[in-house]
Amino acid sequence: MKTANATSRKRRSLGMLLTMVTVLCVAYPTTRRTRAQRGETNQAELVVRADQPQGKINRNIYGQFAEHLGRLIYGGIWVGEDSPIPNTRGIRNDVVAALKKLNVPVLRWPGGCFADEYHWRDGIGPRDKRPRRPNASWGGVDTNAFGTHEFMDLCETLGAEPYINGNLGSGSPQEMMEWIEYMTSDSDSSLARLRRENGRDKPWKVPYFAVGNESWGCGGEMRPEHYADEYRRYATFIKNYSGNHIQKLAVGSHDDYYAWTEVLMSQAAHHMQGLSLHYYTLPTGNWNKKGSATQFGENAWHATLARTLLMDEFIQKHSAIMDKYDPQKHVGLMVDEWGTWYDGDPGKDMGALYQQNSIRDAIVAGVNLNIFNKHSDRVQMANIAQMVNVLQSMILTDKEKMIVTPTYHVFEMYKVHQGASLIPIEMKAPEYRLGQSSVPALQASASRDAAGKIHISIVNLDPNRAAQVSTRITGATVKNITGRVLTAPAMTTTNTFDKPDAVRPARFTDFQLQGGQITLNLPSKSVVVLELLLD
Ligand code: AHR
């Protein structure tokens, strides 16, 4: 497949990096674990430094991404006004109702690779007159029924800020400039008039606009030096009309491609407000055989978590390069594509890049969101790939049916961190080992919201062992604790259209609060979010 080949080339280095780990894991069958090992409870210590609050966690870290790909837009969001599926102005009511509970802060559109082939004029005006174009990146024909007005309607309905990804690969600076004018100008210009004729009187606000996507790959196979020049040229024509203020985002790196960040920061940092980073978690690290979403054992579980934890290292190292050129951290690192990417399940082709989502994906989501919180001085946005029916999605649909995934529940539980102040933590936890490879058994994050409540999110990565976490909050007296826990009977448990609630959050009650000391008992393979009321 074209896409698989392209991505395998671009992500060449990561596969090699972890092949050794995989080999070692595979060489250590799960059955060798003794019964005693399986039954034990891990002991851990957590200190939450409530007296040392840090900067704000940008709520955009909890952002989403919706590309014209597979059944995301068409079928997943857009069904059209005449559909028997209940909708408002063509957008599915059930999907919108579910997404509203996540407080989606920002939504990236129309791609991805698709962004560099998208021409905005195709998607405005009467729908029956819009051209039908091949979707050259992902297959099929795009009717253009879902265009700028429909996307903005979706954002307004969700209360999400729009993040538009412009076309550098096959578009011109003029086309980009005119799209921005069409959307944001309140003047009497021809393009502003055209927007009004198409049904929108007042201009929209467009706070984020990206110049191309993956320009080192599907966006044009460019060298960083060439892209840096192209970026500067296109970015010059991103204008602010009628009080709109656009943050200009440049195409950043992927994985450990540090040379790209070095060039972009040294040559274009002063022209951008954000630089992207893409990193996908593949169980095997091999783009030609990624691993299954649903048929896997402990080796693949462990390898997936080891790989997803690399996000921390990638952010640290890209940030260190950014610090050299931008010590004041004016340029945000925007992780605008992240999540798991599996092989399609044979016999279950539900559209391009459709994949199921298990408790393993929930653990991946919790781990990554904790990492983004930790780096919230530099990470200003993150957009999981993708929102509906594609990759690590929040929602799966099948015609009129809809379910939410384990990943959805993590986003819903973690929304308490949005816009809160990061609180530093220290976690002393044993390693979760398999063969020669090990990852921390527990990983956490904490924040304090505007009302003064502390929220702690803790992930137990170990699929076999519960954990007892002795927790101390410094500089605060805890009056009351409530919490929720997400776990599942098996590593592979998913929500299905027949059993939509197999994985869903429950009240978390297994804790003691005694004289300032908190003891938490977490089940294996779980995500727990606590709310602490202080005296
Ligand atoms: O999210 C799917 C694809 O992955 C995006 O279109 C592209 O940017 C990336 O390679």
Q: What is the pLDDT of residues 38-88, one digit of tens each?
A: 458 999 999 999 999 999 999 999 999 999 999 999 999 999 999 999 999
Kindly list the protein residues whose Cβ atom lies closer than 6 A to any atom of ligand 1. 7, 67, 111-113, 213-214, 337, 385-386, 391
Q: Once rounded to an integer, what is the mean pLDDT over residues 429-456?
A: 97
- Closest atom of ligand 1 relative to the 115 alpha carbon: 6
The model's confidence at residue 4, banded by pLDDT at 50, 70 and 90, is: very low
- Closest atom of ligand 1 relative to the 138 alpha carbon: 6
Distance between Cα 113 and ligand 1 center (Å) = 6
Best mutation site among 7, 71, 113, 142 for ligand 1, i.e. most ligand atoms within 8 A of its Cβ? 113
The model's confidence at residue 273, banded by pLDDT at 50, 70 and 90, is: very high
Distance between Cα 157 and ligand 1 center (Å) = 25
- Closest atom of ligand 1 relative to the 3 alpha carbon: 10
Q: How much is the pLDDT for 106?
A: 99
The DSSP code sequence of 102-123 is: TT--EEEES-SGGGGG--GGGG
Distance between Cα 67 and ligand 1 center (Å) = 9
Q: Whose CA is nearest to atom 7 of ligand 1?
A: 112
Best mutation site among 213, 277, 340, 386 for ligand 1, i.e. most ligand atoms within 8 A of its Cβ? 213
Helices (H), 172-297: 173-184, 190-197, 224-236, 258-268
Distance between Cα 16 and ligand 1 center (Å) = 21
Q: How much is the pLDDT for 30?
A: 36
Q: Whose CA is nearest to atom 6 of ligand 1?
A: 112
Least confident of 72-76, 94-98, 263-267, 511-515: 511-515
Structure confidence by residue, pLDDT tens digits, 248-261: 999 999 999 999 99
What gap in Å lies between CA 358 and CA 494, rounded to an integer? 4
Single pTM value for the model: 0.94
Structure confidence by residue, pLDDT tens digits, 475-497: 999 999 999 999 999 999 999 99
Q: Which H helix or E strand runs over 447?
A: strand 442-448
Residue 221, by phi and psi: left (phi above 0), alpha (psi -120 to 50) or beta? left
Pairing state between β 87-88 and 91-92? antiparallel
What gap in Å lies between CA 457 and CA 417, rounded to an integer? 9
The DSSP code sequence of 148-170 is: HHHHHHHHHHHTPEEEEEE--SS
Residue 20: pLDDT above 90? Answer: no
Best mutation site among 2, 278, 334 for ligand 1, i.e. most ligand atoms within 8 A of its Cβ? 278
Q: How far apart are the first and last CA of the chain?
A: 59
Catalytic residues: 214, 337
Q: Once rounded to an integer, what is the mean pLDDT over residues 460-477?
A: 97
What gap in Å lies between CA 510 and CA 519, rounded to an integer? 9
C-beta neighbour count of 424 within 10 angstroms: 16
Structure confidence by residue, pLDDT tens digits, 158-192: 999 999 999 999 999 999 999 999 999 999 999 99
Q: How much is the pLDDT for 37?
A: 47
Asked if 124 contacts 148 with a C-beta cutoff of 8 angstroms, the reply is yes
The model's confidence at residue 349, banded by pLDDT at 50, 70 and 90, is: confident
Q: Whose CA is nearest to atom 1 of ligand 1?
A: 385
Structure confidence by residue, pLDDT tens digits, 380-392: 999 999 999 999 9
Q: How much is the pLDDT for 39?
A: 58
Residue 36, by phi and psi: left (phi above 0), alpha (psi -120 to 50) or beta? alpha
- Closest atom of ligand 1 relative to the 6 alpha carbon: 10
Distance between Cα 386 and ligand 1 center (Å) = 9
Distance between Cα 38 and ligand 1 center (Å) = 38
What gap in Å lies between CA 62 and CA 383, rounded to an integer? 7
